[in-house]
Amino acid sequence: FAGGVEAAASSGGQIMPPVMGVAAFVLVAITAVPYTKVITAAFIPAMAFFFSIFLAVVFQARREKVQAMRTIPDDLVMERQDWLNLVVIFLPILTILFLLLGNKDAFAQSALAGMLPAGVAQTITNSTGDAISAGWWAVIVLLPLLFLDPATRAKPSKVLTSLGEGGVLVSRLFLLLFAVSIISAFLNESGLTGELTRAVTAWLETAQVLRIAGYEIPIIGGVYLMLALTCAMFCAILLGMGMPTVPAYVNVALLLGPLLANLGVSFFTANMFVFYFAVASAITPPVAIAAFAAASITRTEPMRTSIAAVRVGIVMFTIPFVFAWYPELLLIEEAVTITSDTGRRVLIEGYSGQVDWVGLTGVCLRLVLVLYLVASALARFDYGPIGRAEAGLRLFIAVLVLWKTAPVMWIGLAAAAIILVGHMMWHRNKRMGEKIN
């Protein structure tokens, strides 16, 4: 479980603003949406993901009866050198943020600019908004800060070793992006993207009825969109197995991004959808790179660690469907803007392009409730053990709570209140009875 938490949380770093993974910059290039808007759009989904991990840990701690530490161990007490090391960590990150956000005036007036020579500060100010320059300037700021650490001052060659390892990493990334560019050019020139889009669309059009447990569900409207989203999900996960996030995202985005955009999802939302599943491929069995790395640290069986990672990070597989249905969660106008049949960019029906804070708050509160239901169901524990029937019921109620149809949503909310309050009262009375006995 510890390895699963580590793998899921580490993978979540790629979707957590303000400094996201390399794939986020590719997302910026493909969608032509500024980086500042991308990190705005990623905020609520990322918060939901890490909140779900927090809930998973809480329920697991309750289940294992882990007690809080009453005293702080000596190795966790912050000393003066520890605070200096925090400066080494956060100052380069703040440099990247100032430069990426593109506010030249804010950087020029910042404390960091005042600490640097005038010529250097002016050069950095002129580089504001450039992602490549931001990374290089962060390295330049970092190098002198490294000598705040006594271990580095005692052995300065460690800095040269780190620079060498960084150069190897950058060269590998360059070769990776070069390979992706070849694939992208091939797909565009060969017309394979259009052919695959038409093939998937034709398959979806021929499927008239979806049969589940003896019931027939007509494939129209939302069901049609759900099938298309599911196809994109499986493609992203399959292409991402054993492959870094960037090529996995680019391949699926080029192939299925246009299809999703033609089904009423904005081009930006479609790319965010694929991006999330490309990240999720790092913890998806059987080739879960992040989980295998975590298993080597925790010295546990890799496959069991990857399964635990999926259980902990399940929201990474579900939140894309949520913001595909509720694009207002992405907070930016591009998420609710689609291309009409005439080629004009228009807003999705029901959206004004402005954030409806009342409606958004309602969706977020429902999402919090859903995360609680899902996390407790997967942990099979809340205030006490949860049986399989109750776990399945909680997952079903979670779907109802997020349903867009108002009557179904209210039924889900009422059912959630009944099952959560009933569970809490049952186990509270049970504990009181045990104390009396």
Tell me the per-residue pLDDT of 360-415, one tens digit each, with 9 for 90 and over.
888 899 999 999 998 888 888 888 888 889 889 999 999 888 888 888 889 999 99
Per-residue pLDDT tens over the stretch 168-204: 877 866 775 576 567 656 766 776 655 655 666 666 6
Using CA atoms, how far residue 2 sits from 53, 179, 384, 434, in Å, is 11, 35, 21, 32
pLDDT at 415: 92
CA dihedral 159, 160, 165, 169 (to 10 degrees): 90
Least confident piece of the model among 227-236, 262-271, 337-346, 347-356: 337-346
- Distance from C-alpha of 327 to C-alpha of 45, rounded to nearest angstrom: 11
Position 124 scores a pLDDT of 53
Q: Give all strands (DSSP E) within 283-417, no chain letters.
A: 337-339, 345-347
Half-sphere exposure of 81 (CA within 13 A, CB side): 9
7 burial type by CB count under 10 A (0-12 exposed, 13-18 middle, 19+ buried): buried
| Tens of pLDDT, residues 87-103 | 888 888 888 777 766 55
Q: For residue 101, give both structure tokens.
A: 């956000």
- The one-letter code for the residue type at 272 is M
Nearest to 129, CA basis, from 158, 157, 106 = 106
Kindly report, residue by residue over 348-362, the tens digit of the pLDDT: 777 777 778 888 888
Around Cβ 153, how many Cβ atoms within 10 Å? 11
- Is pLDDT at 107 greater than 80 in this prediction? no
Contact between 96 and 135 (Cβ < 8 Å): yes
Most confident of 104-113, 218-227, 330-339, 389-398: 389-398
Nearest to 8 by CA among 356, 243, 315: 315
Whole-number percent of the chain with pLDDT over 90: 4
Residue 87, pLDDT score: 84
Q: Give tens-digit pLDDT for 229-241.
A: 777 777 777 666 6
Instruction: List % helix, strand, coil for the chain (3-state, nearest 5).
Output: 75, 5, 20
Give the per-residue pLDDT at 343: 62
Q: Which residue has the tokens 């003066």?
A: 80
Please give the pLDDT value at position 33: 83
Contacts of 428 (CB under 8 A, 6+ apart): 383
More confident of the two residues 108 and 42: 42
Which string of b and e fits 69-99 if b means at least 16 CB within 10 Å? Answer: eeeeeeeeeeeeeeeeeeebeeebeebbbbb
CB 289 within 8 A of CB 278: no
| pLDDT at 410 (0 to 100) | 92
Q: Is the pLDDT of residue 259 over 60?
A: yes
Confidence band for 417, pLDDT divided at 50, 70 and 90: very high
Three-state DSSP at 167 gives helix
pTM of the model: 0.72
**Residue type at 24 in one-letter notation:** A
Q: Rounded CA gap, 316 and 360, in Å?
A: 20
117 cis-preceded (ω within 30 degrees of 0) = no
What single string gives the DSSP state of each residue in 390-425?
A: HHHHHHHHHHHHT-SSHHHHHHHHHHHHHHHHHHHH
The Cβ-side half-sphere exposure at 380, using a 13 Å CA radius, reads: 5
Strand 209-212 to 337-339 pairing: unpaired
pLDDT at 402: 86
Tens of pLDDT, residue by residue over 55-86, are 888 888 888 888 877 788 877 888 888 888 88
Q: How far apart are alpha carbons 181 and 167 in whole angstroms? A: 21
Asked whether residue 112 carries a pLDDT value surpassing 60, the answer given is no
CB 380 within 8 A of CB 391: yes
Give residues with Cβ within 8 angstroms of 308, minimum separation 6. 1, 3, 4, 5, 291
Note the pLDDT tens digit of each residue in 295-337: 877 888 888 888 888 888 888 888 888 888 888 888 888 887 7
**What is the C-alpha to C-alpha distance for residues 63 and 388, in angstroms, rounded to an integer?**
15
pLDDT of residue 243: 64
